[in-house]
Structures are given as structure tokens and as C-alpha cells.
Amino acid sequence: MATIEECRAALDKLSDNLATTDGGARAVAALDRSLTCHIKDLDTTFVGRLGGGRIEVLDTVRGRPPERAQIRLTMAGDDLVALVDGRLNFAKAWASGRVKLEAGLKDLLRLRTLL
């Protein structure tokens, strides 16, 4: 099972990957949204913002986040690490229910270019 530190490192790596992606980076760079990533098996949520094509983690809280973010991810820690490392396909993980992504329709359309 991935640790909180490994999940945080994966989010930092994802942020770096977003910043260097060509195709979908322009669409994501235009986003300025609140973001949460709930790690089910650790019952921990990373709370932050997606803006300027990067993810900035602002806080880590036990359990569910106190407020509903505009973009919400839910998954196991090992799945987060595997997604960022390229060992888990997002579309397959989402279709099977291993990863949950909730956002407004416009945001989902922009994010799909990256996922």
C-alpha cells in the first residue's frame, strides 16, 4: 500500500507532467479550479488548486475534504502512483471504477485531453 508521502510525490510528479505536456497543456493551463484527491485506503485527502497548468497541494486532511472542490478525484494510493508512473491506464481504471473523477462538463472535456 502506498504511503501518504508516496501519494504526495505522485501528485508533484503529475504536476510536473502537466507542465511539460504539449497537447492538452493549453486547455488545462486555462483552468483555475479547486481540486481534491481522496485516497480511499489511507482515508486522506489532498486539497489544492489546478492553475497555470500545475497542481498545487495546499493541505492534507484526514477523511473527506471539508468543502466540495470543482474537480474531485478518488482512488487508492497504489492506483495514484501507478497512474502517474504510466503503469495504469486512466480510461480503463475509470471505466472499471478504480478511479473516480467528478467535475463539471466543460472541465471534463478539457481534462480528457490529458487523461
Q: Regarding beta strands 32-39 and 54-62, do their DSSP bridges make them parallel or antiparallel, or are they unpaired?
A: unpaired
**pLDDT tens track for 60-87:** 999 998 889 999 999 999 999 999 999 9
More confidently predicted of 31 and 102? 102
How many whole angstroms separate alpha carbon 52 and alpha carbon 99? 24
**pLDDT tens track for 2-56:** 999 999 999 999 888 877 766 555 566 668 999 999 999 999 999 999 988 889 9
pTM of the complete model: 0.90
